[in-house]
Amino acid sequence: MFLKSLVIRRNFTLIILSITVITLVAIRVIRAQRVEHTVAVIPPALVSPFHVTLLEGVHTRADEYHWNVITQSPERETDIEGQVAIVEQLVQQGVDAISINPINANAMIAGVTTANQMGVPVFMHNLITPIAEGQVVEYIGYDQWSGAANLAAYVCQRLADQQSVEISAAKGKVFILTGIPGFHTNRRTGGFKYGLAQHCPLVEVVGEQTAEWEREKALQVAMAALQQHPDIDVFFGNSDEMAIGAALAAQQNGLVINEDIFSVGIDGNDVTLNLIREGTLTATLGVYPNRMGQVIIEQINKLFNGEKLPYILLTPSTVVTRENLDAYIAGETWVAPVEGSPEFDNNRPTGSSR
């Protein structure tokens, strides 16, 4: 009888322990599945690998916080009204915060105003140029003017090395493929021209034309440019995709990249890095899109935790070549974002008076 009672007690204890273990596991699963916040991150479109990579970084960090992330965008980066409509719809659905990379800053004032009225905190990323109206918690991005100027300095040095002259004596002809008209295009184009003037003033910009951030359009524009100026030495694309299109055009014209002609862009996309390694693209201004995406979520999390945020958070940029390619990929060239100054669309270096 005593043994039977002991067996019953032991079985009962095992049952209790099993229930406890199951309950603890269930609690952990529930916690893991619990959505702490729902935030929206809105790119201008997903045509460029830059925005795809940035969103990968967003989801990586958001998953660690157990957040739900909504990402919507127009099909093309020319659909300004479509992007504004997406922002207005999402803030009315009650997201906890939203970060926007606007196609057109002035047009996005309407979306920001709607978010302000609904009490939804607004961040903006991939730019540090404040909009004229509306309340934005923080701008997260790199200095486009300075980055483009540094890329121009690199181009000047490549031309000088090729010609065996001092950098200030380098000569050449540059064609610029611009993005959609607006502050991104203005700052990148202006910064590049400024860098040329500072480092190799004898280099001439023989033309510039929009390719709307797209590779195929850049291919067409560059083909036409080479027909008009067959002695172009450098293509500068406001984005990697346009630099790639220009490089393809040069190759189709029988030119050898890095020997007969150079092609450089801005973004630091994975496909671009592969082409630099292969020698079919010269260089890019790497702006760490994946890391920028992670920073967006980290900053929103700081807001939720009541931390004070800088109005401008400056993320780094690095001229990426075959020489430092592996270091860039490994994250060794990354430096922590710091508080920065606004980049006004004034055709002057960032930090100068308006």
> Among 262, 256, 281, 261, which residue's Cα sits nearest to residue 271?
281
Give the angle 240-241-242 at the CA atoms, nearest 5°.
Answer: 90
For residue 32, give both structure tokens: 């893991």
Q: What is the pLDDT of residues 156-173, one digit of tens each?
A: 999 999 999 999 999 999
| DSSP at 315 | P
Going by C-alpha positions, the residue among 287, 203, 192, 297 that lies closest to residue 237 is 192
Q: How sure is the predictor about 13, in pLDDT bands with cuts at 50, 70 and 90?
A: very low
Distance separating alpha carbons of residues 302 and 337, to the nearest angstrom? 14
- Is it the case that residue 302 has pLDDT exceeding 70? yes
Q: Quick count: other Cβ atoms within 10 Å of Cβ 16?
A: 10
Whole-angstrom Cα distance, residue 217 to residue 239? Answer: 12
Q: Is the pLDDT reported for residue 26 higher than 90? A: no
Domains annotated for the chain, with CATH where assigned, are 38-142+289-315 (3.40.50.2300), 145-286 (3.40.50.2300)
Q: How do residues 323-352 score in pLDDT, each as one tens digit?
A: 999 999 999 999 999 999 999 999 999 987
272 vs 22, higher pLDDT: 272
